[in-house]
Amino acid sequence: MSQLSVILPFHNESAGVRHLLERLYPALGKLGLSYEIICVDDGSSDFTFETLVHERQFDQRLKIVRFARNFGKETALTCGLHLAKGQVAVTMDSDLQHPPEIIPALLQKWHEGFEVVHATRANRKTDGPLRRCFSRAFYSIFRRIADIEMPEGAGDFCLFDRKAIDAMNALPERNRFMKGLTSWVGFRQATVPFDVEPRDSGMSNWNFFRLLRFAIDGISAFSTLPLRVWTWCGMLVSFGAILYAAYLVADTLIYGVNVPGYASTMVGILFLGGLQLMSLGVIGEYLGRIFTEVKARPLYFISERIGFDQ
Ligand code: UDP
Ligand code: MG
């Protein structure tokens, strides 16, 4: 029975597997705990799975699941938490951006009694300027409107006590914005800052549109403010319209009927049309997510599992 489960999502990381394990084994060896390493191959199209299977020859504590297709990192982490048998689990990226040498510091906090420990990035040096700007905007919006507190710089490098693992596994939703859910479950939470490293090999799997969708997923999962704000907009516009109507009545009584009004009519129509489309769009975003949830499809399918009991 392992005490620690390390959960690693892989998507086209074959070139980095060896480097990762070369640093992970020594870091884990020093802990004095029994451990398992759960590798989730998230529908890689390179030799990631084969490389992992090869590595397993040398250490049976490496356990491997292969997804039937690419289900996304959040789903891969969720699967890892489902399969974890440890008293404590650590999720981390497999591209060495999350240094394995931080794991002892996370466990130290766990020994102190914390049940969820976020490793938070101390800087964003490895991100490009656009992405840095975007991340900052996202966190500042998220912190203002979401119903949960998410530590600054929190990512998916995180430790979970068994209680927190069970809590995460009890969440039924399909939209799994992990860093939000991790904060949402509660328990005693702590943070440990670390310096993000550059990617070991390969390229980031995220482009601007994927990040944008991820950001909308996160905000919609933890706030209904984007839905409700239209009530206030509507009230404001109606109030403005009443004032404007009063002005028009007064203007007509004083100066008589003034027919030309093309520009103001157009501005009114376009402004309100835009506002309505935007609010409809927001409703659509939520509706789409409700649709995904009610379909209640399984989160993922596993095509192969190696090293697990059943
Ligand atoms: N990843 C995954 N499935 C995906 C995309 C990414 O399992 O669909 C994994 C990837 O292998 C890596 C981690 O998630 O271990 C972080 O991905 P990436 O480095 O591309 O993201 P970034 O560090 O740029 O945020
Ligand atoms: Mg990365």
pLDDT single digits (tens) 57-90 = 998 899 999 999 999 999 999 999 999 999 999 9
**In the structure, what pLDDT confidence band is assigned to residue 310 with cuts at 50, 70 and 90?**
low
pLDDT tens per residue, range 103-157 = 999 999 999 999 999 999 887 777 778 888 888 888 888 888 887 888 888 889 9
Domain-located, residue 118: yes
Query: Which helix or strand (DSSP H or E) is residue 157 part of?
Result: strand 154-161
Higher pLDDT, residue 79 or 276: 79
Question: Does 206 lie in the same domain as 270?
Answer: no
Are 206 and 229 contained in the same domain?
Answer: no
Q: Which domain holds residue 110?
A: 4-210+298-306
**54 CA to middle of ligand 1, Å?**
21
Q: Are residues 284 and 302 in the same domain?
A: no
Q: Which residue out of 11, 13, 211, 300 has the highest number of ligand 1 atoms within 8 Å of its CB and is therefore the one to mutate?
A: 11
Residue with CA at minimum distance from ligand 1 atom 3: 73
Give yes or no for a contact between 183 and 150, defined as CB atoms under 8 angstroms apart: yes
When the pLDDT of each residue in the chain is averaged and rounded to a whole number, the result is: 88
Give the ligand whose atoms come closest to the C-alpha of residue 300: 1
Asked whether residue 219 is domain-assigned, the answer is: no
Pair (173, 151) in one structural domain: yes
Q: Is 13 in the pocket of ligand 1 (CB under 6 A)?
A: yes
Helices 225-255 + 262-295 axis angle, to 10: 160
Q: What pTM does this model have?
A: 0.79
Buried b (16+ CB within 10 A) or exposed e, 146-179: bebebbebbbbbbbbbbebbebbeeeeebebbbb
On the question of pLDDT at 262 being above 80, the answer is no
Q: Which residue from 65, 66, 73, 78 has its CB within 8 A of the most atoms of ligand 1, so it is best to mutate?
A: 73
3-class DSSP state of 64:
strand
Count: domains in the chain: 2
**169 and 33 in one domain?**
yes
Phi first, then psi, for residue 214 (nearest 5°) are -60, -40
Q: Which ligand is nearest to the CA of 179?
A: 1
* CATH label of the domain that carries residue 115: 3.90.550.10
Give per-residue pLDDT as tens, 151-187: 888 889 999 999 999 999 999 988 888 888 998 898 9
In a domain, 279, yes or no: yes
Residue 218 lies in a domain: no
Does the Cβ of 201 fall within 6 Å of ligand 1?
A: no
- 26 part of a folded domain: yes
Pair 52, 127 in one domain: yes
Residues 170, 248 share a domain: no
Q: Is the CB of residue 43 below 6 angstroms from any atom belonging to ligand 1?
A: no
User: Is residue 21 domain-shared with residue 96, that is, in the same domain?
Assistant: yes
Does residue 220 form part of some domain? no
Identify whether residues 24 and 93 lie together within a single domain.
yes
